[in-house]
Structure formats: structure tokens, C-alpha cells
Amino acid sequence: MSTAWLEPLQLGMVAALLLPILVACRNGDVWHRLAALASISTKVALLMLVVSVVRDDWMVGFVGVIVLSVGNAAVMLLAHLLRGTDR
């Protein structure tokens, strides 16, 4: 099976990671940084899933699924805690 078409896809996914990193570094607002870091977490987890399919390594895919499900829940808990400190 030829996987030559996946290399540009992986490079595009890595390039898409740069935009939220720039937003997180530039903006001083906590909410914008939190949204940018949640976006980075989601994109890295999806990149891990693509890499696991290419390498046929189900352990990497399993870690990607855990990061995808637990990482966004942690961001929601952090947002709830930050909302409580704003009041």
C-alpha cells in the first residue's frame, strides 16, 4: 500500500499547528490562550492518530484517543475554575 499521499498531509497538519501557537504567544488574554492551547491539543491528537495509521501502531493511536478525550475535558475543567476566579 502506497502512503506517499500521507506525507504532505502530515506536513500540512504540522503547519496548521503553528497558527494556534502564534496566537497563544501573542495574546495576553487568558481565554484566547486557553482556546489556542485546546486547539493545539486537538490537532496533536489527530496527528497522532494519522501517524498511528501510517505506522500501523495501535498503541500510538490509543494514546491519541486518550489525549483527544481527556485533554478536552481538562480544558473544560480549567475554564470552569478560571470563571470562578473572575467573579
Task: Give residue-wise pLDDT tens across range 20-66.
Answer: 778 777 766 777 777 777 888 888 888 888 889 888 888 988 988 88
pTM of the model: 0.69
Cell of 21: 501557537
Neighbours of 14 (CB within 10 A): 12
Asked if residue 60 lies in contact with residue 52, where contact means CB atoms within 8 angstroms, the answer is yes
Residue 8's pLDDT is 80
Q: Is the pLDDT of residue 6 over 70?
A: no
3 — pLDDT class (breaks 50, 70, 90): low
Residue 76's pLDDT is 72
Domain encompassing residue 42? 6-86
Nearest to 50 by CA among 35, 25, 68: 68
Nearest to 48 by CA among 34, 74, 35, 67: 67
In a domain, 66, yes or no: yes
In a domain, 1, yes or no: no
Residue 30's pLDDT is 74
In a domain, 15, yes or no: yes
Total domains in the chain come to 1
